[in-house]
Structure 1
Amino acid sequence: MKVGFVGLGHLGREIAKRLLSQGVDLIVWNRTREKAVELGVPIANSPADLISQVEKVFLIVFDSQASEEVIFGKNGLTEGNIEGKTVIDMTTNHYAYAERAYHELKSYGAYYLDAPVLGSVIPAQKGELTILVSGDKEKFDENAELFKKFCKSVYYVGKAGNGTKLKLINNIVLGGFMEVIAEALAIGELSGFDRELVINILSDGAGKSYILEVKKQKLLKEDFSTHFSVDLIYKDLHYAQDLLRDIKAFSFALQNVKEAYGKARSMGLGDLDFSAVYKVFKRN
């Protein structure tokens, strides 16, 4: 069975490659056709054309606006033969959009799985992502073996929107860890210490974490080639602020962490890896 795939950005491309390496036949569509050509697989003319050729489609795009355009826009999935088909949306969406997309696709006789992933390029290459799936349990069960082809951990978390809420909660921690590591590293250097020494001490001390381990070389070399961009974490933290507002929660940290990435964006670093937030605190 062929599977559709939409969205060949940094992470989407690696997930698609992983699926291909695991024997999954893909048909793809991407707004920038050149990125699709690189995979050497059939390319649909539009999302509507794509859904007419497959029973299920993976989708991973920048934000909820982009997801909505692919699913419900002109030549979108809903303009094709979508009845009975399943859309597996791995985009980090706004939770309210995920809930709405689920119900709107029901009206087309189709299914929507809200299925964001945890992890970025390197875990995707190794098949070690984590996926948080919400929506109809029977559709989760139907696709569970497919998820295991690129994920080490697969969670079913209930009704549509729950997957996105949990992803946003995770990314509060993700963004906070990266921001405070970057801040501490810059403070260490400004105090006269060698960068590598500070990183090693943080690695053996309070900074010991998965985030520091995977970003250590980027910080040492100031190689901020993108795995997960500043723009993406800023967007996710903005969605997280909406979640806190709606559940009447509060955070002392979230606003300040988000604005550190906002400052990075204002410095022209939005397209770079989110570890580039280090440059906000580093004195040139």
Structure 2
Amino acid sequence: MNDSTNYNLPSYAVAFLGLGVMGDPMAGHLVRAGHRVTVYNRTASKAHDWVRRHGGHSAPTPREAAANADFVFSCVGNDDDLRSVTLGAEGAFAGMSPGAVFVDHTTTSADVARELGIAARERGLFFIDAPVSGGQAGAQNGALTVMCGGDADAFERAQPVIRAYARAVTRLGEHGAGQLCKMVNQIAIAGVVQSLAEALAFGERAGLDLHTVLQVIGKGAAQSWQMDNRGPTMIEGRYDFGFAVDLMRKDFGLCLNEARHNGARLPVLALVDQFYADVQAAGGGRLDTSSLLTRLRDKNV
């Protein structure tokens, strides 16, 4: 687990908007790093429970949470959710002080990152799109990979604070670059998970001891994070780990839409997206993304 306590780092006033399976532990790491944290969640009871467990304060609106904060972080659901916590009379931008930095960890379109980057600049604020990879376990262990787009100086200010819950924080370019990098990440994952599912289904049909098979091929060229972390649980039919099929299809939609604009061809991603649609149709939308194996076994989701 990442020791997020850094006694050389100043203590900042920070706000965190969105306390889902990712945001809840990320905000907790900010407290352990010594920051003064105010949280907001659309369901207020979650914010109250977070304060009970971690200390700090809760606020009834994003604007009030962001008031006087040096840094405001968010981890919500989609483009519209992000707009709802940033813009408008009760949005965070209305409460932030000039020069403050807004860091968004939601996986969104690159377009909304650029839109909010402009809106922030017009108000004398800074916006960084900073989607993450590493899943629920990465958030809990403070070991996320964070991909950032935005102003270089603002990134340098925010990077040490983000490291409270990250093992790697990298700026890829201007607004939207972080989201585009996250799309590359999701595209790469798609084929790996489907191939792993097919391999395990094949080995099962062949009558092999799949746990032994994984131990063998995991030491060779087939090894991957998905194989090491999801292969054993896929064999056991356990699909309750963090990132859900519904969320992955949302991300795939962002990738496919961006590809229509930039001319990239994504035939494997498009195919795997339809396989996830099959899992959804069978009632598995909240299962982990490794549930692709359910399509290939002689059993229902």
For normalisation by structure 1, the TM-score amounts to: 0.92
In 1, Cα distance between equivalents of 2:287 and 2:262: 32
- What RMSD over aligned residues (CA atoms) do the two structures have, in Å? 1.9
Q: Which residue of 2 aligns with 1:32?
A: 43
CA–CA separation in structure 2 for the residues paired with 1:73 and 1:205:
53
Q: CA contact under 8 A between 1:185 and 1:198: conserved in structure 2? A: no
CA contact (8 A) 1:175 1:233 kept: no
Q: Is the 8 A contact 1:90 1:115 kept in 2?
A: yes
Are residue 20 (structure 1) and residue 31 (structure 2) matched?
Answer: yes
Paired residue type of 2:105 = M
Specify the code of the residue in structure 1 equivalent to 2:278.
K
Task: Tell me if structure 2 keeps the 8 A contact 1:48–1:79.
Answer: yes
1:1-284 map, 5 Å: 1-40=12-51, 41-73=56-88, 75-284=90-299
Count of paired positions: 284
1:168 to 1:141, Cα distance in 2 relative to 1, 3 A: same
Q: Flag structure 2 segments of 5+ consecutive residues without an equivalent.
A: 1-11
Name which of structure 1's ranges 122-131 and 196-205 shifts more when overlaid on structure 2: 196-205
C-alpha contact 1:230 1:277 (8 A) present in aligned 2 = no
- The alignment-based identity, stated in percent, is 28
The code of the aligned residue for 1:28 comes to: V
Letter in 2 for 1:16: A
Is the CA contact (8 Å cut-off) linking 1:10 and 1:226 kept in structure 2?
A: no
For residues 218-271 of structure 1, the C-alpha deviation after alignment (integer angstroms, 9 at most, x for no partner) is: 213322223111111111111111222211111231100111112112222112
Moved segments of 4+, more than 6 Å: none
Q: Is the 8 A contact 1:131 1:154 kept in 2?
A: yes
Give the stretch that moved more between structures: 16-25 or 164-173.
Answer: 16-25
Question: Which segment is superposed worse, 187-196 or 207-216?
Answer: 187-196
Between the aligned partners of 2:240 and 2:45, the Cα distance in structure 1 is 20
Which amino acid counterpart does residue 187 of structure 1 have in structure 2?
Answer: F
Q: Distance in 1 between matches of 2:237 and 2:133?
A: 24
- The letter of the residue matching 2:268 is A
- TM superposition score normalised by structure 2: 0.88
